[in-house]
Amino acid sequence: MHAYLDWNATGQLRPEARVAVAAALDVTGNPSSVHGAGRAARSLVETAREQVAALVGVTARDVVFTSGGTEANMLALSAALGDTLLVSAIEHPSVRGGGRFAAAEEIPVTPAGIADLAALERLLAGRSRPLVSLMLANNETGAIQPVVAAAAMVHAAGGLLHVDAVQGPGRIACDFQALGADLMTLSSHKIGGPQGAGALIRRDGLPLDALIKGGGQERGLRAGTENVAGIAGFGAAANVARQRWTEEAARMAILRDKLEACIKAVASQAVIFGAEAERLPNTTLFSVPGMKAETAVIAFDLEGVAVSSGAACSSGKVSPSHVLAAMGVPEAIGRGAIRVSLGYATSDEDVGTILKAWEKLSESLYKSGNHQEIAA
């Protein structure tokens, strides 16, 4: 039996999205063409724009389609929107890299993996037009960030707030207006849509400096013929996620709690990172002394279980987690961190499969009472 438990990296394509992609592939027209075929393609794009807008409580004109979350982050992090850039220490690499700013200053986080608002307040003092980027929920620990409070502080300082929300929709409430965001990044494949599509949400026509220039697509904010099939699938996934997220999230939370209880029962020394914070209902990041992530991931894979060593955004590389480092986690325990992330289609059987694999790996790790590295 195989269990896919790496949904924070990418989700299983929803059946509704698959149908929408297939239907869109049969539409030949360019969305910028004025003939009937072009108008048919444009209709698919605009329907999807309305569906994505509804997912986060905005109007269709606030949605700019991109190739994914990374491009949306780059589009948002422009010096045209601020004089300085502040980002939390646990952001995605595309945010920590500073976007189109020369550099970014980091906002520290607490040991629970939550942005330190007192530190943010100090960093904002005396700034001229600060742009702040704070994710909605961390992709490794699942820790939900204090976006509403941060937005109030940033706006009081005369700045703007960008929220990388790719891990939020379909798992927690994600209302653009309620969060107080000025910009928000979304990704199709995190919610059961196809890879290669994403969106940047902007407040009230906030002026953006186009990252990809050329044609007038996306109201001049993203040149290039639209990925009609990808966008159509994104819209379909957004529509389903909006309708079902509360029931899906509740079921994922039950499975996650069962998983974490059993992880601890098998290995009492196991550490669940960020457990003291409010977290996504689907995410568990854990480790035990003596375990190394690279060999543990392989060992799980050999048992038919797909998990990740923290984030999966670096071409398959396994490297120390900057998130755990920012939380002050000692390298000796942090180097073994394994992320298990559930999704809308995760079953009780999937959780049972990983727990059987964990029992086997723990026995190998602790055999004869020695803290030995798991043998792949």
The residues annotated with a catalytic role in the active site are 313
Q: Which of 3, 45, 49, 1 is nearest to 342 (CA)?
A: 3
**Cα–Cα dist 60/238, whole Å:** 13
**Cα–Cα dist 342/353, whole Å:** 13
Q: Which of 89, 52, 182, 249 is nearest to 44 (CA)?
A: 52
253 burial via Cβ count (<10 Å: 0-12, 13-18, 19+): middle
For residue 246, list its beta bridge partners.
none
Residue 72 sits at the vertex; the CA angle it makes with 50 and 197, to the nearest 5 degrees, is: 55
Helix (H), strand (E) at residue 47: helix 36-56
Q: Which residues contact 221 (CB under 8 A, 6 or more apart)?
A: 64, 75, 208, 210
> Under a CB-based contact definition with an 8 Å cutoff, are residues 282 and 7 in contact?
yes
